[in-house]
Chains A and B, each alone.
Chain A
Amino acid sequence: MASHGLAYDGCNFFRQRLVLSTLSGKRVKIKNIRSKDDNPGLRDFEASLIRLLDKVTNGSIIEINQTGTVLFYQPGLLYGGSVEHDCNLQRSVGYYLEALLMLAPFMKTSLKATLRGVTNDPRDPTVDMLKSTALPLMKKFGIDGEGFDLKVVKRGMAPGGGGEVVFTCPVRRTIRPVQLTDPAKIKRIRGVAYSVRVSPQMANRIVESARGVLNQFIPDIYIYTDHMKGANSGKSPGFGLTLVAETLNGSFLSAEMSSMPQGQGDPKLPEDLGRDCAKLLLEEVHRGGCVDSSNQSLALLLMTLGQQDVSKVLLGPLSPYTIEFLRHIRDFFQLMFKIEVQKPSEDERKGGDKVLMTCVGVGYSNINKTIK
């Protein structure tokens, strides 16, 4: 057991396991990856993620058996630097970026990653969403500075892709513990309605219908329209909307929706898309908390890796992905969170039940970073 590090079964939560393995330095062995499937073994997008991990680390040992059903991963040191990666088109750049966001602060040199592929699809968090929620969240943990940025150079919709994203992140030696327990009220709503290779009017139609829903609640709404043309517009047509609600205490809650990829599913009217997305945002606000549901695991990871001090974060209902992430944190870092349910009082009317997560950081310090 000890010689093999941690062992897991099946293809689920593949990304979590590899990221936590890299951060903790523990070897991981994953068996029975789709071994009963007609098409067994790792998928192309997973192989692509492994290749990306190989690029940002130094000295990783990766062994995959012939059929791709067993993976052994011994992480090396996180090196960082300038990295270019062509992401697999099966998943969007967000899939890869979420992993990089977790790793980037702990590199040896600051990361400058250029990722190419699908920037927006209905399945993964889009680049716009990560830019407007994950980055401000990381800033609260003391990861900021001028080199901290996520830029959409070219937009590429599924299935063709052709987008390009540049992510730069400075390195930190330690992570600051946080106390985020009061989300406060919604201050303003911002958003981006994007359209590529369709009429620029689509974005305006989305904005109009989304505002129709949201204007009943708050006047301070601004939704940018972003229409990219020519070489910056990728290979496939599509449109979508990302909405972000900012609270008085600087928490961000977001919702998003993209048009279905060309040739898959029923086409959606921009009006419907805008209205549905606005409703999703309202639901997200109802769930509430200081971190929105798509970034729960990122916040929990940064709490875990904080200095040896108490961190508290108020979350909305835990997502299944987050629950599994908590279990993995226990496996890799031997850390269990204190989980308390907080019911909103009757007269307060603050939406659904909240969960207060408390932990003492493991006192992780970035051993990769050079001391000057």
Chain B
Amino acid sequence: MSEEESEEEGENVRAGDSGHCSEEDEEESGDDDDGEEEEDDKEESEDESMEEDDAAGATMKKQTASESEEEEEEQGGLRWKEGLQQKASEAFLRQQKAAPNLRKLVYGSVVEADDSDDEEQELGGLFRVSRPQNS
């Protein structure tokens, strides 16, 4: 059996299995990860090489990115919960990298101090007189 054949077989098996993951998810995760793709792939291939059964295990190294994502979906719907902290920290760092215009942030909103309140209406700056006193 050549390596290519075995790969096809493995793919077929997977396609049959993955009933619980939708196409959308796949696309989304494909779009998002452009920066992190390399890392993710490495992790996955490591994970799988430990868990995977005989046929697929041999051809692991040859997998393309899309295939490895299929694998991810296959392992369970709760896979997205993994590495949330890392994802969050990466998103945070990415946001920080986009340099903000600090000058605008500091001076941007011009707050006009309003001094037009009439003084007579207030007693001690705390209580407001709603009607004039009778006594």
**A is bound by B:** yes
Interface residues of A (CB under 8 A from B): 1, 4, 6-9, 29, 31-32, 35, 40, 65-67, 69-70, 318, 323, 326-327, 330, 336-341, 343, 353, 355
Contact A355 B126 (CB under 8 A): no
Q: Is B79 located at the chain interface by the 8 A CB criterion? A: no
16 contacts between A and B (CB under 8 A): A4-B115, A7-B115, A29-B115, A35-B126, A67-B124, A67-B125, A67-B126, A69-B125, A70-B124, A323-B106, A336-B107, A337-B103, A340-B102, A341-B99, A341-B102, A353-B96
Interface string of B90-103 (1 = CB under 8 A from A): 00000010011011
Contact A9 B113 (CB under 8 A): yes
Chain B, Cβ-Cβ closest to A69: B125
Residues of B near A67 (CB, < 8 A) are: 124-126
Chain B, Cβ-Cβ closest to A1: B115
Contact B126 A40 (CB under 8 A): yes
The answer to whether A343 and B99 touch (CB under 8 A), given A7-B113, A7-B115, is: yes
Closest CB in chain A relative to B50 CB, distance in Å: 34
Closest CB in chain A relative to B128 CB, distance in Å: 11
What CA separation (Å) do A35 and B126 show in the bound complex?
Answer: 6
The answer to whether A69 and B103 touch (CB under 8 A), given A7-B113, A7-B114, A8-B113, is: no
The answer to whether A32 and B102 touch (CB under 8 A), given A6-B113, A7-B114, A330-B107, is: no
Residues of B near A339 (CB, < 8 A) are: 102-103, 106
Contact B113 A70 (CB under 8 A): no
Residues of A near B100 (CB, < 8 A) are: 341
Residues of A near B103 (CB, < 8 A) are: 336-339
3 closest cross-chain pairs (CB), A and B: A69-B125, A70-B125, A67-B124
What CA separation (Å) do A337 and B104 show in the bound complex?
Answer: 11
Beyond known contacts A323-B105, A343-B99: 13 more, CB 8 A cutoff: A1-B115, A9-B113, A31-B125, A35-B125, A66-B124, A69-B124, A70-B124, A323-B106, A330-B107, A339-B102, A340-B102, A341-B100, A353-B96
Residues of A near B117 (CB, < 8 A) are: 31
Closest CB in chain B relative to A287 CB, distance in Å: 13
Residues of B near A6 (CB, < 8 A) are: 113
Residues of A near B125 (CB, < 8 A) are: 31-32, 35, 65, 67, 69-70
Closest CB in chain A relative to B103 CB, distance in Å: 5
What CA separation (Å) do A355 and B107 show in the bound complex?
Answer: 15
What CA separation (Å) do A46 and B78 show in the bound complex?
Answer: 54
Closest CB in chain B relative to A354 CB, distance in Å: 11
Interface residues of B (CB under 8 A from A): 96, 99-100, 102-103, 105-107, 111, 113-115, 117, 124-126
Residues of A near B124 (CB, < 8 A) are: 65-67, 69-70
What CA separation (Å) do A337 and B99 show in the bound complex?
Answer: 18
Closest CB in chain B relative to A2 CB, distance in Å: 10
Closest CB in chain A relative to B33 CB, distance in Å: 22
- How many A-B pairs have beta carbons closer than 8 Å: the answer is 51
Residues of A near B106 (CB, < 8 A) are: 318, 323, 326-327, 337, 339
What CA separation (Å) do A9 and B105 show in the bound complex?
Answer: 21
Residues of A near B96 (CB, < 8 A) are: 353
Closest CB in chain B relative to A306 CB, distance in Å: 20
What CA separation (Å) do A66 and B46 show in the bound complex?
Answer: 72
What CA separation (Å) do A7 and B113 show in the bound complex?
Answer: 6
Residue in contact with B107 in the complex, picked from A4, A69, A327, CB distance below 8 Å: A327
Contact A355 B115 (CB under 8 A): no
Residues of A near B99 (CB, < 8 A) are: 341, 343
Chain B, Cβ-Cβ closest to A340: B102
What CA separation (Å) do A317 and B111 show in the bound complex?
Answer: 23
Closest CB in chain A relative to B24 CB, distance in Å: 36
Residues of B near A338 (CB, < 8 A) are: 103
What CA separation (Å) do A114 and B110 show in the bound complex?
Answer: 40
Closest CB in chain B relative to A322 CB, distance in Å: 9
Closest CB in chain A relative to B100 CB, distance in Å: 8
Residues of B near A337 (CB, < 8 A) are: 103, 106
What CA separation (Å) do A32 and B115 show in the bound complex?
Answer: 12
Closest CB in chain A relative to B88 CB, distance in Å: 19
What CA separation (Å) do A7 and B39 show in the bound complex?
Answer: 55
What CA separation (Å) do A318 and B103 show in the bound complex?
Answer: 12
Residues of B near A336 (CB, < 8 A) are: 103, 107
What CA separation (Å) do A341 and B105 show in the bound complex?
Answer: 12
Closest CB in chain A relative to B61 CB, distance in Å: 31
What CA separation (Å) do A40 and B123 show in the bound complex?
Answer: 13
Residues of B near A40 (CB, < 8 A) are: 126
Closest CB in chain A relative to B30 CB, distance in Å: 28
